[in-house]
């Protein structure tokens, strides 16, 4: 159904033809069919960043499959629709292997990349080290949700808490809602917030809103080892997405972030 919020329709129709069918599937997101092809339309200020992220992920050899970027104009992103299928053990193992390949992809510096995670705006500035990058990002978010006093001590200890590593290309917003189980038997990734980060960031966020299957971790570690003590750092790397949620929603996310900060501070 078309409505007054579909201000993107003229641009879409001019580039790709008028839609045969249109249905809202989320805030600022539509599933559109035109010319026999199913597409997803997203409208918002992060459109260009997300398109760049999808292209960067798609370029990784044996990395996770992602939707094709069909059109990007200002605040409009059009990408291919991924037909959904059942979740399977094979797809979980495949996700583990493809994430390991993704994290083997180098990134020239810490940070950089997208200035958005969901609807939360971020400073995409580069940083000289993991501690500097995560410290700046945690501090900026903490200041926005009134948790500066709690985050300060953690920020001061990040050089000791984060193991030495070169920056990797990370998805940056890897929760289960951004994993699509395709009808081709593969796990597809959507809605990236790519940057140069520590691989444990993606794995920690994946475990924030649901368990990470042991078979996924097993497949990952067959391809790429994890540094000693990674299990003890899961909550440390969950601080970032929790602070994002505290900024956007407050409530229990703020309390959870504060508790983790006290543990590591």
Residues recognised as catalytic: 173
Q: How far is CA 193 from CA 86, 96, 164, in A?
A: 26, 19, 23
Tokens of 39: 């597409």
* Pick from 133, 173, 142: nearest CA to 246: 142
- Count of H-run helices and E-run strands, the chain: 9, 13
- Alpha-helical runs (H) found in the chain: 9-16, 47-58, 89-103, 130-144, 148-161, 199-206, 214-223, 234-249, 252-264
State the DSSP code for 164.
P
What's the distance, CA 218 to chain centroid?
Answer: 22
Q: What span, in angstroms and rounded, lies between the C-alpha atoms of 205 and 202?
A: 5
Cβ distance 114 to 192 under 8 Å? yes
State the DSSP code for 176.
G
């Amino acid at each position: 159904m078309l409505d007054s919020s579909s201000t993107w329709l003229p641009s879409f129709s001019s580039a790709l033809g008028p839609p045969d069918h249109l249905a809202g599937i989320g805030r600022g997101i539509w599933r559109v069919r035109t010319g026999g092809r199913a597409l997803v339309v997203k409208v918002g200020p992060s459109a260009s960043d997300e398109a760049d992220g999808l292209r960067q992920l798609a370029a990784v050899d044996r990395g996770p499959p992602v939707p094709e970027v069909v059109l990007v104009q200002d605040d409009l992103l059009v990408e291919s629709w991924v037909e959904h299928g059942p979740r399977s053990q094979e797809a979980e193992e495949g996700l583990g292997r493809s994430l390991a390949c993704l994290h083997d992809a180098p990134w020239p510096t810490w940070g950089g990349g997208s200035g958005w995670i969901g609807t939360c705006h971020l400073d995409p500035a580069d940083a000289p080290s993991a501690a500097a990058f995560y410290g700046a990002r945690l501090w900026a978010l903490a200041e926005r949700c009134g948790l500066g006093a709690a985050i300060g001590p953690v920020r001061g200890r990040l050089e000791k808490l984060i193991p030495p590593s070169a920056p990797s290309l990370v998805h940056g917003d890897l929760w289960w809602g951004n994993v699509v189980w395709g009808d081709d038997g593969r796990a597809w990734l959507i809605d990236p917030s790519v940057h140069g980060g520590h691989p444990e960031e993606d794995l920690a966020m994946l475990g924030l809103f649901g368990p990470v299957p042991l078979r996924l971790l097993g497949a990952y570690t067959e391809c790429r080892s994890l540094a000693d003590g990674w299990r003890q750092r899961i909550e440390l790397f969950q601080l970032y997405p929790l602070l994002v949620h505290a900024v956007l929603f407050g409530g229990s996310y703020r309390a959870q972030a504060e508790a983790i900060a006290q543990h590591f501070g």
